[in-house]
Amino acid sequence: MKNLIHILICAAGLFLAGGCSDDSDVSGGVSAPELLSIIPKAGYAGNVAIISGSHFSPEADRNTVMIGQTRAEVTAATSTRLTVLLPENTLGSYSVRVTVNGLSAEGLSFTYAPAPDPAELALVSVLPTKAYAGDRVLIRGTGFSSDPEQILVEINGARAEVVEATETTLQVVLPENPAGTYPFTVSLGDKRTEGLLFTYVHKPTLSLASVAPQRGYAGSVLTITGECFSETLSENLVEINGRVAVVTGATTTTLTVEAPENPAGSYPIRVTVDGKTVEGLMFTYLFGKYTLSTWLGTAGRDIDKALVDGAPDEVRFNMPHGLALSPDGTSLWIIDRGNNAIRRTDLQTEMTTTIVRSGQNGVTVNAPWRGSFNSRGDFYCANKAARNILRVTPDYTVSVAISGLSDPLDVRFDAGDNLYVVDRGVKSVLKYAAPDYTQSSTFATFTGGPLAADFDPAGNLLVALNDCTIVRVAPDGSQQVVAGNGTAGTDDGTPGEPTTARFQAELWGISVDDTGNVYILDSKSHTIRRLAPDAEGDVARGTVETVIGTAGKSGATDGIGNEALLKTPYDVLVASDGKMLWISDWGNFLVRRATVE
């Protein structure tokens, strides 16, 4: 029994002694690192290498890596992997030693090889190719730097933030830029390359694009286009000059509103949706309210019934053209060019009768154009194709008053009853002295062809030319361009600067009221334009406005201002008090009138 106890005691001692024996280095229970591999096995200073193994510290700065006698920077660490930046060393092979918590391991080797020639700076691809500002994109290429701070990336001149970089890839954050396609530019030191195209996608935001019409009155229906409106009417607040407009229709891109009351002038449109506000479009309230209506005739033409007299809805025209108000104000005379006739409408009964036809008294009427009355009540008319001037007395006797002209288009009288002929063929206005109109002289000559004329209250002759301008000719013959910049167009220009406005070349009618407002018929644009004088009465510093019709849009619609439509009108006549306009709507075969409020 004693021997058995002795044997057990010895066995236990041997067991305990064996349990304390181990071939590993142990210090306080921490294992030494073990090394498995280094990738790559060869390279040069500045390369990144991955060391795989075990028992590393996840904290990068607690791992010491030596390549030969030179320490490498540990940039990332896990318990099984270390990412290191290779330090400078001469060419050759060096042992790799890793130390963690005072315990070291080595056995791997790394070979320093000659560094390759720097790759050419070049761009290969970008992904994605379309995105928004603030998005991140990946640029691939060659010759980059692994240091983001050394790389300058720009697109359309705006600098992009480089967030990650290697020698072949760049991760960048897109800077702000308008929607569109632009090239990337990458610079490194004195090297620069450009080539990849990138498209900025439009990012919808509350914005205004257009308003139509751009001019009108309180109550005019406006269509505003833009983005990010609300489809719920009440969620869109629209203001013009701080006054709220009633919203009658809404989509995400279109608002329909009624213009609120405002004084004449131009004001910004402001739209607020969901707490966000944008403004910028301008709407102009016109100085007068022009309400156009059909007066004489029916739109369209029956060639077999193109000369019919009678009441307003019975009368028919074939190319109504020149208009003139009789001196006593009781009748409107209408030159019906297509019928080679002169018609008269009684303003009280509104009955129209034909008073002159070709062949009457042996006189040929051929393409009569425009005319006016002298103080004796005689009507003088440019008989264009016959190259003469017709005279019609108050008893409707017609005769040839002046012959031998080139291309007469209009006849006007000054306060002294002197007669002026607008002759496009000789680019002049010819003056015939009262009372018998036998003595003639050239009153004014132009570089463009004159088309129509009228006198203003000061006795100046305003002439519409086919070079898209309006010229003022003083009684002494001196000239000044008062409206139009000489190029064809339809915009009204800058208020107070009428020579910034643009007209088309077919300004067949012009008429001036007693306050100096000049009405210009812009036939090709299907509009009536007004040149209003400034506060001192000078039209040269006045403002051009389109008061009836919409440029480039024809039709026969009655209505207010820009909502009304004309079709190739040929003459406009304003009452002396400025309260009424008469218009020969040539393309619709109508005579129309507009009240002015």
Reported as a single tens digit per residue, the pLDDT across 206-217 is 999 999 988 788
pLDDT band at 329 (very low <50, low <70, confident <90, very high): very high
Q: Which pLDDT score is estimated for 17?
A: 39
Query: What is the reported pLDDT for 288?
Result: 82
| Structural domains in the chain (count) | 4
Q: Which burial class, exposed, middle or buried, applies to 156 when counting CB atoms under 10 A from its CB (0-12, 13-18, 19+)?
A: middle
Q: Is 239 helix (H, G, I), strand (E, B) or coil?
A: strand
Burial (0-12, 13-18, 19+ Cβ within 10 Å), 427 = middle
**What are residue 473's DSSP bridge partners?**
461, 479
DSSP state of 260: P
pLDDT at residue 213 in the model:
87
152 and 134 share one domain: yes
Phi/psi of residue 484, each to 5°? 90, 140
Residues 49 and 167 in one domain: no
The average confidence (pLDDT) of the chain is 92
pTM of the model: 0.62
233 and 195 in a common domain: no
Whose CA is closest to 165, among 176, 157, 153, 175? 153
Query: Per the domain annotation, does 18 fall within a domain?
Result: no
> Where in the sequence is the domain holding 249, given as residue range(s)?
208-283
Domain boundary at 231, 263, 283, which? 283
Place 45 in a pLDDT band, splitting at 50, 70 and 90: confident
Higher pLDDT, 479 or 119: 479
Which one-letter amino acid corresponds to residue 241? Answer: N
User: Is residue 344, in this structure, part of any structural domain at all?
Assistant: yes
360 and 496 both lie in a single domain: yes
Tell me what the mean pLDDT of segment 182-210 comes to.
93
Is the residue at 345 inside a domain?
yes
Q: Is residue 178 part of a domain?
A: yes
Say which CATH number the domain at 145 has: 2.60.40.10
Q: 53 near 100, Cβ under 8 Å?
A: no
Which of 283, 311, 337 is a domain's end point?
Answer: 283
Average pLDDT over residues 158-174: 95
Q: Which residues does residue 413 pair with via DSSP β-bridges, in sequence order?
A: 419
Written in H, E and C, the secondary structure of 52-63 is EEECCCCCHHHE
One domain for residues 524 and 431: yes
Q: Which helix (H) or strand (E) holds 479?
A: strand 479-483
Alpha-carbon span 533 to 457, nearest angstrom: 12
Specify the CATH number for the domain of residue 572.
2.120.10.30
202, pLDDT greater than 90: no
% pLDDT > 90, the chain: 85
| Residue 218 belongs to some domain of the structure | yes
Is 262 a domain residue?
Answer: yes
Burial 507-537 (b: 16+ CB within 10 A, else e): bbbbbbbeebbbbbbbbbbbbbbbbbbeeee
Q: What are phi and psi of 69, to 5 degrees?
A: -100, 10
Res. 10: pLDDT tops 50: no
Reading phi first (left if > 0) and then psi (alpha if -120 to 50, else beta), residue 251 is in: beta
> What is the DSSP code (8-state) at residue 216?
E
**Residue 368 shares a structural domain with residue 255:** no
Q: Which of 8-12, 251-255, 559-563 has the lowest mean pLDDT?
A: 8-12
- Residues 415 and 484 grouped into a single domain: yes
Bridging pattern class, strands 130-131 and 191-200: parallel
Q: Which helix (H) or strand (E) holds 74?
A: strand 70-77
User: How far apart, in whole angstroms, are the C-alpha atoms of residue 372 and residue 389?
Assistant: 11
Are 345 and 271 in a shared domain? no
pLDDT at 1: 40
CB-CB contact of 320 with 354 (8 Å): no
Look at 26-40, 446-460, 497-511 and tell me which has the smallest mean pLDDT.
26-40
Q: With pLDDT > 70 as the criterion, what percentage of the chain qualifies?
A: 95
Q: Whole-angstrom Cα distance, residue 449 to residue 464?
A: 9
The band of 264, judged by pLDDT with boundaries at 50, 70 and 90, is: confident
Q: Is residue 499 part of a domain?
A: yes
Q: What is the pLDDT of residues 235-252, one digit of tens each?
A: 999 999 999 999 999 999
Same domain, 335 and 242: no
Local confidence band at 27 (pLDDT 50, 70, 90 cut-offs): very low
Instruction: Output the pLDDT for position 286.
Output: 80
Asked, as a colleague might, if the bond just before 320 is cis with ω within 30 of 0, I would say no
Residues 455 and 577 in one domain: yes
54 located within any domain: yes
The predicted model gives 283-310 an average pLDDT of 88
- Strand partners of residue 420: 412, 431
Of 200, 234, 250, the residue at which a domain comes to its end is 200
Give the model's pLDDT for residue 4: 38
pLDDT of 5 higher than 90: no
Of 76-85, 109-118, 419-428, least confident by mean pLDDT is: 109-118
What is the DSSP secondary structure assignment for residue 15, as one 8-state letter? H
Q: Judge if 279 and 294 occupy the same domain.
A: no
Same domain for 260 and 323: no
For 465-510, where are the alpha helices, taking DSSP H only?
A: none
pLDDT in tens, 456-491: 999 999 999 999 999 999 999 999 999 999 999 999
The dihedrals phi and psi of 234, each to the nearest 5 degrees, come to -70, -15
